[in-house]
Structure formats: C-alpha cells, structure tokens
C-alpha cells in the first residue's frame, strides 16, 4: 500500500523538460545582459563618486574600490568648501559654486517650463486641427520642427553671438533661457504630439457639447490625461538644458555661467584637478538623479503612452 501511494503517476515528457531548460537558459541570459548593461551605465557615476574622495596618487594609479585600494578622503569636496570641516567656514569657491548652481537651476527650469507650455499648445493644435501654411500641412510642419535638431549647434554659434551682442543678451540668464527653449522645443512637440494623438477626440467633443470651450476642454479633460507625458517631456528638457555646455560657454562669461562651464574650468597649469572635477560633477548630477528617482513612474508612463493605440 505504501509503495503504491509513493509511486509517481505523472512524469514530465522530454519536450516539457526541454522547454523548462530553455526557459531557464533564456532567463539567465536576459538577466545577465541586463545586469551587465546596468553595470556599464552606472560605472561612470560610481567612478565620479569614488574619484571625488581620492588623492592625486590614487587617481593616477586607477584605484577603484574604497577602503580596499585606497582610503577615502574629502579632498575633492574640501576644494569646493563642501567638506564637513569647511562647510561652516566662509569659502569663495563654495559661493561661486552656489552661484553657478543657482544659474543652472533658473535657466534649466524656466526654459523647460516655457518649452513645455509652448510645445504642448503647438502639439495639441497639430493633433486636433488641420493647418495649411503654403505647401506645408500638419505633417510637414511637424517635420520642420524636428528638422531643427539636425542642425549642428556650432553652425548657430556666430549668428547667435552677433545677435545677442546687438540686443544686449550676452552673459544674461534670459538669453540662455530663450536659446534653451528654442533648442528643446522640437523635442517637447514631438513627445506631446504622440501624447495628444493617443487621447480620443470624442472626450473633447463630449466636453464641448456640455458647454466647455476649446480651452476649457484642453485644461480640464486633455491635460490631466496627458500629465505623465508632460512630466516626461519636462524632465527630458530639464536634463538637456541642465547639461548644455557649448552655448553656455560661448554666450556667458561672468554673471550667467552655469555648472557645466564650471566643471570644464577645473584645469590649470598643473593639470586637471580630477578630485575637484569629480566632486563638482557629482554635485551637478545629484539633483537630476533625485528628480529621476522621484518621478520615475511619470517618465515610464509618458514614454510608453502613444506607443500602442
């Protein structure tokens, strides 16, 4: 009786065993590739953080693991006046860093918000109305906006330099805000065009029947649905404007310099201060990391919306 109850009645076929082995192999391969890619993507951030705590010999030797290859020191943050022993003292370098940080924050946030407002309205119009501008239709107008991304920034350097000199916008925040808005506006229009295109027009038609105006339907019906896409477009614009270096170095000198310009200036007659540059770079990317972590779900929703209709 005991032998009968312990006898296995059903057995996996060879096909089932082969399927199970193939499933585990594919899973291990996929997750292995993802882990490898994550290491490749995160290594520059790890290198930046660890370098900010290295001394010059540790940087030259290429030591990577703290407390194993080297003993961490506050050398990089001390040079910026941000180490524990210098944070309470007056520091000209720290004041300059805070000034550049404030410039980057104002310029990036204002230009991203302005581009989001203008780009959302333009994208909504292109997705809901039919336009005719000469031989150009909606698709041609959208392509015209996107084609602005093909133009290399260096081509615009001299025209903008001459223009900004004539209108007294050199070394001003408002000058960078207007220029950055122009550079990220095509990206916002592209993202929001897909966002609004994925929202059924019947919702707005029902709102119009209920007595709402076109603006009322846009503000109360369309915008709440498209909010994840708007957040994603804003964050992408913020990242691009925050990290922009070429025009910031070209059009500013003293008052409106941003953090990327300050990072690139960490060179001297004695070479590059890698620890200072690493500490400054880490402080520059830290706000973006925090924003990305806090608004991750909006970024994913915004990028995925419109992909499947």
> For residue range 182-230, what is the model confidence (pLDDT) as tens digits?
999 999 998 898 888 888 888 888 888 888 888 888 888 888 888 888 9
Is pLDDT above 80 for 309? Answer: no
Mean pLDDT across the chain: 84
Q: In which band, very low, low, confident or very high, does the pLDDT at 179 lie, cut at 50, 70 and 90?
A: very high
- The pLDDT of residue 308 is 44
- The pLDDT of residue 264 is 83
Mean pLDDT: which of 33-37, 143-147, 258-262 is highest? 33-37
CA 94 – CA 86 distance, rounded (Å): 10
Is pLDDT above 90 for 74? Answer: no
Is pLDDT above 90 for 154? Answer: no
Please compute the mean of the pLDDT values over residues 81-90 and round it to a whole number. 82
Tokens of 89: 């003292």
Q: In which band, very low, low, confident or very high, does the pLDDT at 249 lie, cut at 50, 70 and 90?
A: very high
Q: Report percent pLDDT > 70 for the chain.
A: 88
Judged by average pLDDT, the poorest of 20-29, 171-180, 267-276, 298-307 is 298-307
Q: Which residue has the higher pLDDT, 231 or 308?
A: 231
Is pLDDT above 70 for 77? Answer: yes
SS (H, E, C) the chain: CHHHHHCCCCCCCHHHHHHHHHHHHHHHHHHHHHHHHHHHHHHHHHHHHHHCCCCHHHHHHCCCCECCCECCCCHHHHHCCCCCCCCCCCCHHHHHHHHHHHHHHHHHHHHHHHHHHHHHHHHHHHHHCCCCECCECHHHHHHHHHHCCCCCHHHHHHHHHHHHHHCCCCCCHHHHHHHHHHHHHHHHHHHHHHHHHCCCHHHHHHHHHCCCCHHHHHHHHHHHHCHHHHHHHHHHHHHHHHHCCHHHHHHCCCCCCCHHHHHHCCEECCEECHHHHHHHHHHHHHHHHHHHHHCHHHHHHHHHCCCCC
Which residues contact residue 170 at a Cβ distance below 8 angstroms, ignoring those fewer than 6 apart?
161, 164, 251, 252, 253
């Amino acid at each position: 009786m005991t032998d009968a109850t312990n006898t296995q009645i059903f057995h996996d076929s060879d096909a089932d065993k082969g399927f199970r082995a193939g499933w585990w192999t594919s899973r291990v391969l996929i997750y292995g590739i993802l882990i490898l890619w994550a290491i490749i993507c995160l290594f520059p951030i790890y290198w930046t953080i660890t370098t900010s705590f290295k001394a010059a010999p540790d940087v030259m030797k290429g030591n990577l693991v703290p407390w194993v290859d080297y003993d961490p020191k506050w050398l990089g943050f001390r040079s910026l006046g941000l180490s524990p022993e210098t944070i309470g003292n007056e520091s000209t370098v720290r004041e300059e860093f805070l000034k550049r940080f404030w410039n980057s924050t104002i310029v990036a946030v204002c230009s991203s918000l302005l581009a989001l407002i203008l780009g959302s309205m333009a994208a909504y119009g292109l997705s809901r109305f039919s336009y005719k501008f000469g031989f150009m239709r909606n698709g041609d107008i959208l392509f015209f906006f996107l084609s602005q991304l093909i133009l290399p920034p260096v081509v615009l350097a001299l025209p903008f330099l001459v223009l900004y000199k004539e209108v007294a916008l050199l070394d001003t925040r408002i000058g960078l805000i207007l220029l950055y808005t122009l550079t990220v506006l095509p990206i916002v229009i592209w993202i929001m065009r897909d966002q609004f295109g994925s929202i059924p027009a019947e919702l707005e038609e029902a709102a119009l029947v209920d007595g709402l105006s076109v603006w009322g339907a846009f503000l109360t019906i369309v915008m709440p649905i498209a909010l994840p896409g708007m957040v994603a477009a804003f964050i992408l614009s913020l990242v691009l404007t925050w990290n922009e270096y070429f025009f910031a170095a070209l059009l500013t000198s003293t008052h409106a310099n941003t953090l990327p310009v300050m990072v690139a200036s960490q060179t001297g007659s004695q070479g590059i201060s890698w620890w200072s540059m690493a500490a400054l770079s880490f402080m520059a990317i830290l706000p973006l990391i925090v924003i990305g972590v806090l608004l991750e779900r909006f970024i994913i929703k915004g990028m995925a919306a419109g992909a499947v209709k």
